[in-house]
Amino acid sequence: MPYTPHTAEDIREMLDVLGLESVDDLFRTLPAAVRPPAGLDLPSSLSEEEVWRVMSNLAALNAGQDELVSFLGGGVYDAAIPAAVDAVVSRSEFLTAYTPYQPEVSQGTLQVIYEWQTFITRLTGLPVANASMYDGSTALVEGIRMALGRTGRDAVVLPAALNPRHRRVLETNLASEGVTILTAAASPAGTTDPVALRAVLDGKVGAVVIQNPNHLGLIEPVAALAAAAREVGALLVASVNPVSLSLLKSPAEYGAAVATGEAQPFGVPCGWGGPLLGFLSCADDLKRLIPGRVVGRTVDHDGREGYVLTLQTREQHIRREKATSNICSNQGLNMARGTVYLALLGAEGLRELGAANRVRCEALRVILRGIAGVTLPFAGPVFNEFVVRLPRPAREFRAFAREQGILAGIPLDGFAGCGVGDLLVAVTERRTANEIERYGSVLRDFLETC
Amino acid sequence: MVTSDRKYTKDHEWVLAEGESATVGVTEYAAHELGDVVFLELPEVGTVVAQGEAVGTIETVKSVEDLFSPVGGEVIAVNEAVLDAPETVNQDPLEAGWLFKVRIEDRSELDELLTADDYDALIGS
Amino acid sequence: MSHERQGATPARWGADLQTSLFAKGRAGRRATTMPAWRGDEVDVRLPADALRAAPADLPSLSELEVLRHYTLLSNLNHHIERGLYPLGSCTMKYNPRLNEKVAALSGFASLHPEQDEADLQGLLCALKLLQDALCEITGFAACSLQPAAGAHGEYLGMQVIRAHHLESGATGRTEVLIPDSAHGTNPASVVLTGLQPRMLKSGPDGKLDLDALRAAVGPQTAGIMITNPNTLGLFETDIVEVARIVHDAGGLLYMDGANLNAILGKAKPALMGFDVVHLNLHKTFSTPHGGGGPGAGPICVTEELARFLPPPLIREREGVYSLDACVGECRPSVHAYQGNTGVCLRALTYILRLGGDGLTRVSERAVLNANYLRKRLEGLLTVRHAEGTLHEFIATGSDWKDLYGVRTLDIAKRMLDYGIHAPTIYFPLIVDEAIMIEPTETESKETLDRFVAVVAAIRAEAEHDPDLLRTAPHTTPVSRLDEAAAARRPDLSWLGPCNCG
């Protein structure tokens, strides 16, 4: 049998030690009623080569972003992954290690987590970060819980232009905890209206969420939103695209108490949306409310520097029913991907990454502005993603472009005042000038074929 | 060591009543059993607490326990020094490691607490 | 039988600690560079008030420096390809390399979650195959792959149970019973769903106490969360009666499937009377732990509860797969997309490789290994609740404490010197000085024999030189760390400037 070393002789010897006749004697405590009479109705064991054939044939039936030219985003982006990232995380030392509960034999994993925490704190400007969350949506849930826990309040304001997939997860989580969810409307410019935010704020609101850039790709008026939150004593919880932090104001600079987001573009494959890499960071006075694993630097009994899991009393295995989060397993290996990725980029590489996204995004916007009937409905600044408004249904263009090998974007019909012609388009560093040109020509062809 | 100048609780706290003020800390027994104290949450000055109410927490590396107020009244002082150096609770739980002071509302509450002998018997058992 | 001393000597580790990445590097050095822009120049300026004051200070290193840093760091880790990992309740089995090769296929890894079904036919077929296999293994009707971890599955399972009661108007059903031997995540998962956990004391035999259960259930009961086999490694033999009591009271039964490795092919949660189960793909189905994740915690449910599973649902009609968004229905959602799909693909690979026959052999050999090891440790370590051991067992260090003045922690730390990862210790909480041992089916008899020899050697050390244990480990890259100092004055990130090493 695959993966087990037992020979018939081994089994005989082991049963002899136990004084048993057969392996089935070991299961005698299982009542007959719970035992499947005919075993498992699944196909028989296959060789590695046969399984490889089945699975690679299934993979071949898909068409992903290596094969197609992708302009899809909305939280997950077609970002380039350096080969060195895969090389590091395929090492068994990182791949197959357990959670570092025995620090003496886990310094590798622990130091990587400490380095990840450092990278995230440097990007967000907030002094504390944890070892990762499942994804951007659950990271935001936990960030809101922290803000509500600190303020002792039970209402949260979400922006209208919040990632709808994140909103859905927030609703599941917060509604059952009895949290009131309010919404701050977007202005006609597509960004959160500080006046509309003020209109829903009162002393019951403990957390004001902003997403920057928002789900329309627009950079939010963060200073005005932060000021409004501060006036009522609510904490600002920011959900940010970490790639944008190469250029954009850090959450700490505009007064966020918690910053969360999806760090998938830092070396993690899109993988149909999982496993991803949620991150969470916070102000110093919230550190004892932060969920999940946190690593600290300390010394061993011989004075050598080393790393340990710390602030463990926050965690579910100690606080049990008083815990404010139940997270146990996180996205450890993807966090290692993110750490190696940022180590490879360095400050200069990160700056270039931001610039590479910016130039490609603006180049496509220039092309689209030049196509008759096509508009960019929101005038405000963007990072690497934006809305284009077509004179015909965006879904039809998406299907047309797919025929040409292009994944054109995400239709926004019904989202935050968007219509049937609106499409969310992302442009990453992987897109070439030719591919961007082609996006324009395919759109022209589409509009001419009506 | 269980000193007779103060009262005790079954939650291993001591109370030293001086005039209208009651100083609260954890016993030497608790400080030893808990192990290295790493963090404390203490009530804010001005908070009014009831007898037996959970008013804070005391944390070690792998445990967290509630702190209770052995008497009711207003919190009039908190030991800021132990917040900065929680190890003081282990080193000197009865003096420098005191936690907070309450203005006693009802002196009869003190009578409900354990005497040094009672507490000795409790931890001896 | 004598305890072979072969190989039972402490192992030299042979790897050095590394200075922080942030102390390495030199300004101007580069690894990754970006693709050049070969198009027209465009205006990329952003308003000044949108920009950060200063770029993040990150280290500048060459590609080789980065690889050396992480390779040298990796040498400081214990891992499954290095040595035994007998962590109870964690099922640290071998993680087949084939799984990794499959998950890395571009046809899976490069898919964007917003692509159309037509581009995903192979993926959806694979995920449906996995859902069907998990339903067959558990005996249930429907499966959601969305939860990203075991605790995440518990959370979704509790949401499903809550939704069921709310729909039937039973708003007063808010209490979830949890045995005192439960995993720490169980009570936390219940509370976060807005339900209240109520602890249920185990009987003296380590199993559920039926009288206590009968007394605890009532119109307030939303359900019960049971790990079966439980954290003592014992099968809840009264489970069918337990299910009847809870169902009669109007509650539902949730099974924490963390210990499914013990009963694969031998027992099905649905036949036991459960309504919901979560599985840990990173335990039973061989996906790697990755130093803490990503795992996956799919849940399987009865036909009746299927309508509360998160959308979209994978449908198949005449060989064509589609995603049903369940528009207009009120269903919970716990992940932005469909969970840790890459982990699910690894688990499917494992299931195909083993087949139904192989999966049954998994539980047989896992249980054989645990029982053999338990028996061989007789006279060295005292085992609690030995009768009915399945895939793991609980020993206690309490007699070593009495005899030699060493604690379970000291025994565990000394094992590290022999190249063996420590077992799970001080859990479950209901056993004093607990040492929880789960060898898994992928370990050979020789490895188990060596473990016994190591325990014998450590016991001899405890007898003659207990300080050797109290100060262990001695051969690892670091000795015991000052966790109190770490928690009192947390140092959670590198504060100095980069490139100043």
Q: Mean pLDDT, chain C, as a whole number?
A: 95
**Is B84 within 8 Å of chain C by CB?**
no
Over the stretch A212-248, which tens digit does the pLDDT of each residue have? Answer: 999 999 999 999 999 999 999 999 999 999 999 999 9
Contact list in B for residue A149 (CB cut-off 8 A) is: none
How far apart CA C332 and CA A167 sit, in angstroms, is: 12
* B3-17 mean pLDDT: 91
Nearest-CA residue of chain B relative to A318?
B63
Residue C3: band (very low, low, confident or very high) from pLDDT cuts 50, 70, 90: very low
Q: Which of C482, C475, C468, C485 is nearest to C410 (CA)?
A: C468
Q: Return the residue in A71, A172, A359 with the most chain C beta carbons within 10 A, the one to mutate for interface testing.
A: A172
For residue C155, the chain A residues in CB contact (below 8 A) are 326
pLDDT in tens, C410-469: 999 999 999 999 999 998 888 899 999 999 999 999 999 999 999 999 999 999 999 999
Residues of C in Cβ contact (< 8 Å) with B87 = 484, 488
Min distance B103 CA to chain C CA atoms (Å): 30
Neighbours of chain A (3+ CB pairs under 8 A): B, C
Of the candidates A266, A120, A343, the residue with the CA atom closest to the CA atom of residue C65: A343
User: What's the CA gap between C129 and C145, in Å, rounded?
Assistant: 12
The answer to whether the beta carbons of residues C365 and A14 sit under 8 Å apart is no
Residue that the structure tokens 């380590």 belong to: C206
pLDDT tens digits for range C296-325: 999 999 999 999 999 999 999 999 999 999
Would you state the structure tokens that stand for residue C394, as one six-digit string?
């609980």
Mean predicted confidence (pLDDT) in A39-44: 96
| Residue A305: other Cβ atoms inside 10 A | 16
Q: List chain C residues with CB under 8 Å of A333.
A: 288, 290-294
Given CB atoms, is B36 within the 8 Å cutoff of chain A? no
**Cβ contact B87–C488 (<8 Å):** yes
The answer, yes or no, to whether residue B4 has pLDDT greater than 80, is no
Query: Which tens digits make up the pLDDT trace of B32-75?
Result: 999 999 999 999 999 999 999 999 999 988 888 999 999 999 99
C45 near C446, Cβ under 8 Å? no
Among A369, A334, A309, CA closest to A136: A334
For residue A40, pLDDT over 60 is answered with yes
Question: Is residue C412 less than 8 Å (CB to CB) from chain A?
Answer: yes
pLDDT at residue number A263 = 98
C: neighbours with 3+ CB pairs under 8 Å?
A: A, B
Q: Which residues contact C437 (CB under 8 A, 6 or more apart)?
A: C86, C88, C370, C373, C374, C392, C393, C394, C395, C423, C424
Q: In which band, very low, low, confident or very high, does the pLDDT at A192 lie, cut at 50, 70 and 90?
A: very high
Residue C232 has pLDDT above 90, yes or no: no
- How many residues are recorded in chain A? 450
| Cα–Cα nearest to A314, from A181, A131, A174 | A131
Is residue C2 pLDDT above 50, yes or no?
no
Q: What are phi and psi of B112, to 5 degrees?
A: -75, -10
Contacts of B85 in chain C (CB under 8 A): 488
The answer, as to whether pTM is greater than 0.80, is yes
Contact between B62 and A312 using a beta-carbon 8 Å cutoff = yes
Residue A315 has pLDDT above 60, yes or no: yes
Of A288, A318, A322, the CB nearest to B62: A318
**Residue in this structure with the two tokens 């699975």, named with its chain if needed:** A55
Identify all chain A residues contacting C293, using CB atoms and an 8 Å cutoff.
132, 275, 329-334
Judged by CB atoms closer than 8 Å, whether chains meet at C267 and A78 is answered as: no
What pLDDT score does C501 carry?
Answer: 63
Residue recorded with tokens 């886990």:
A106
pLDDT at residue C6, rounded to an integer: 58
What is the pLDDT, as a whole number, of residue B1? 61
DSSP SS3 for C370: helix
Check CB contact of B35 with chain A, cutoff 8 Å: no
Q: What is the pLDDT of residue C5?
A: 53
- B83 part of contact set with chain C, CB < 8 Å: no
Q: Do B59 and A319 touch (CB under 8 A)?
A: no
- Interface contact flag, C484 B39, Cβ < 8 Å: no
Place of tokens 């690497």: A384
Sign of the dihedral defined by the CA atoms of residues C357, C360, C362, C366, in that order: negative
Q: Do B63 and A319 touch (CB under 8 A)?
A: no
Q: Are C395 and C382 in contact (CB under 8 A)?
A: yes
Q: Kindly determine whether residue B60 and residue A288, on different chains, have CB atoms separated by under 8 Å.
A: no
pLDDT band at C386 (very low <50, low <70, confident <90, very high): confident
Residue in chain A closest to B59 (alpha carbons) equals: A313
Question: Is the preceding omega at residue A242 within 30 degrees of 0, hence cis?
Answer: no
- pLDDT computed for residue A77 by the predictor: 98
- C45-57: burial string, b at 16+ Cβ within 10 Å, e else: eeeeebebeebbe
CA C268 to each of CA C181, C255, C349: distance values in angstroms, whole numbers, following the listed order: 21, 11, 21
Q: Which residues on chain B are in Cβ contact (under 8 Å) with C487?
A: 38-39, 59, 61
Residues of C in contact with B90 (CB under 8 A): none
State the average pLDDT over residues C171-182. Answer: 92
pLDDT of B81 > 70? The answer is: yes
**CA of C231 vs chain A CAs: smallest distance (Å):** 14
Q: What is the mean pLDDT of residues A269-279?
A: 98
Banded pLDDT at A317 (limits 50, 70, 90)? confident
Amino acid at B14: W
For residue B35, the SS3 value is coil
Q: Is B87 within 8 Å of C487 when comparing Cβ atoms?
A: no
What distance, in Å, lies between the first and last C-alpha atoms of chain B?
A: 15
Residue-wise pLDDT for C72-118, tens only, equals 999 999 999 999 999 999 999 999 999 999 999 999 999 999 999 99
Residue A389 to chain C, least CA–CA distance (Å)? 19
What pLDDT band is residue C1 in, cutting at 50, 70 and 90? Answer: very low
Q: Each residue of C457-485: b (16+ CB within 10 Å) or e?
A: bbbebbeeebebbbebbebbbbbbbbbbb
Interface of B with A in 46-75 (CB under 8 A): 59-64
How many Å apart are CA B123 and CA C422, to the nearest integer?
Answer: 33
Kindly state the percentage of chain A with pLDDT values over 70: 100
Mean pLDDT of A77-99: 98
